[in-house]
Copies of this chain bind each other. A is one copy, B any other.
Amino acid sequence: MPEFQDVADGLGMPLAEAMSTQRAVRRLRTDPVDDETLLAVIELALKAPTGSNGQGWEFVAVRDGDVKHQLARLNRQAYSVYRRFASTRARGDLKAARMLAAVQWQADHFENSPVIVVACLRGRPGIFGFGRAAFYASIYPAVQNLLLAARGLGLGATLTTLPLWNRTLVRRALGLPSSVTPCAVIPLGWPVRGGYGPTTRKPVGEVVHLDHYGNRAFEQRVSGISTES
């Protein structure tokens, strides 16, 4: 299995290429992820912005089998509900069916992820919409940096929130005080197969509105990036 020095060059990947080939990589080998690789992706997570530069994050990296088992159980409980909705949607939709198969694989093998990172934020989301948005805006940018860094290194990763359906049990599993909120669960490991690759998205003109919602002024336009590729 690769160690950090074998893959470190990947952090020099061109920015747009890293973004354009980032995808959820759920099928992970059980081989270990070394400390340097783990610390590198978290260190780059810390470069993300936080409200008032508060940097109130805490990252619990779980390698212990018992703790992983507890997270896996929470994930499976939420997944069993999620599957009912998702499988209806996946009927006749090949892409959705493929994704569901990967989510199923992940649910079945969750505790075998070599390391599961739980990204947490000190404090509580607050009761007003505004406070909640400000709160989560101080942790998910860091999570995205972590995922992009993983993509650069070729390390498989997924952003999941399913195991968080019961935060009390997540806090108990990780020994988190009630003043620390778990926000994202990210299984990390080397991909079973290639893993990363280009993704497809709606054209940018469909989701951009000029000045007022509904004014799709760029509907016929492609960005300079689209033109290049």
How many A residues face the partner with a CB closer than 8 A?
A: 104
Nearest chain B CB to A221 CB, angstrom units? 6
Question: Which residue on chain B has the smallest CB distance to residue A60?
Answer: B209
B contact residues around A152 at 8 Å (CB): 15-16
Nearest chain B CB to A29 CB, angstrom units? 21
Question: Which residue on chain B has the smallest CB distance to residue A163?
Answer: B130
- What separation, in Å, do the CA atoms of A147 and B142 have in the docked complex? 12
> Which of B52, B96, B125, B137 is A99 in contact with, Cβ under 8 Å?
B52
- Asked if residues B225 and A35 are in contact (CB atoms below 8 Å), the reply is no
B contact residues around A226 at 8 Å (CB): 43
- Which A residues are within 8 Å of any B CB, using their own CB? 4-5, 8, 10-20, 22-24, 35-40, 42-44, 46-49, 51-53, 55, 57-64, 67, 78, 86, 89, 95-96, 99, 120, 125, 129-130, 132-134, 136-137, 139-141, 143-145, 147-149, 152, 158-159, 161, 164-167, 174-177, 180-181, 183-184, 199, 201-202, 204-205, 207-214, 218, 221-226, 228
